[in-house]
Structure 1
Amino acid sequence: MHFKLIVAFVNDEVTDKVLDAAREAGATGATVINHARGEGLNKKTTFFGLNLDIQVDVILFVVEEHLSRHILETIDEVGGLDKNSGAGMAIQLDVEDAIGVQHQINKLEDVIKGKL
């Protein structure tokens, strides 16, 4: 079984919605790194010299490769990533090898057989 790593950078107010939707789309779990910040195409504005940074969360999903595109599109839809400037972004990367995922493999084998 082959896996992809989906890394999603989302505004913290949509993190729970993205997690729930990704699970419904086939993700078997995630790791959330809170309180990250970043900068996109446009710099954040300031108010009397104070930065108005929006906190973002980084969500890491290790998902089965046949489910990865659907999960990625679900994250986009729920998070509004392509629709709203500054809403975040998500990428997927190939995972060459992974350990500690045998329990996920057992659960996913039946799901993947139905998709192939």
Structure 2
Amino acid sequence: MHFKLLIALVEDDKTDAVMAAAREAGATGCTVINQARGEGFEKAKTFFGLSLETQRDMLLFLVEEHLSREILETIAVKGEFEAKPGTGIAFQIDVEDAVGVTRQMKQLESAVENKL
């Protein structure tokens, strides 16, 4: 079984909704890193030296490769990445190897078979 790592950077008020949508699309879990910071195409606005940007969360999903695209697209819709500039991004990278996922593999096998 091959995996992809989906990484989503989302506004912190959308974290729970994005996680729930990803789970419905086939993700079996998520790791959240709170209070990530970043800068997009345009610099963040400040007010007397204080940043006015919203906090971001980094969501990490280790998912089976056949489910990854659907989960990625679901995250993008729920996070409104294409609808509103600056709301977040998501991308996927190949995972060469993983340990500690034996229990998930058994659940994923039936999920992938149902999708194919």
Q: TM-score, normalised on structure 1?
A: 0.97
Tell me which stretches of 4 or more aligned residues in structure 1 moved more than 3 Å.
Answer: none
Secondary structure of the 2:58 match is strand
**What runs of 5+ residues in structure 1 fail to find an aligned partner?**
none
Partner of 2:35: 35
Partner of 1:93: 93
Shift of 1:38: 0.5
Secondary structure of the 2:6 match is strand
Name the aligned partner's letter for residue 102 of structure 1: T
- State the alpha-carbon separation in 2 of the partners of residues 93 and 67 from structure 1: 13
Q: How does 1:65-104 map to 2 (within 5 A)?
A: 65-104=65-104
Name the aligned partner's letter for residue 45 of structure 1: K
Deviation track 1:77-99 (CA, whole Å, cap 9, x = no partner) reads 00001111110100100000000
- State the alpha-carbon separation in 2 of the partners of residues 38 and 31 from structure 1: 19
Q: CA RMSD in A?
A: 0.7
Number of matched pairs: 116
Q: Which moved more, 1:49-58 or 1:14-23?
A: 49-58
Q: TM-score, normalised on structure 2?
A: 0.97
Secondary structure of the 2:44 match is coil
**What runs of 5+ residues in structure 2 fail to find an aligned partner?**
none
Name the aligned partner's letter for residue 31 of structure 1: T
Deviation track 1:32-73 (CA, whole Å, cap 9, x = no partner) reads 000111100111111122221321000000000000000000
Q: Which moved more, 1:66-75 or 1:47-56?
A: 47-56
Identity, % of aligned positions: 59
Q: How does 1:1-16 map to 2 (within 5 A)?
A: 1-16=1-16
- State the alpha-carbon separation in 1 of the partners of residues 46 and 60 from structure 2: 30
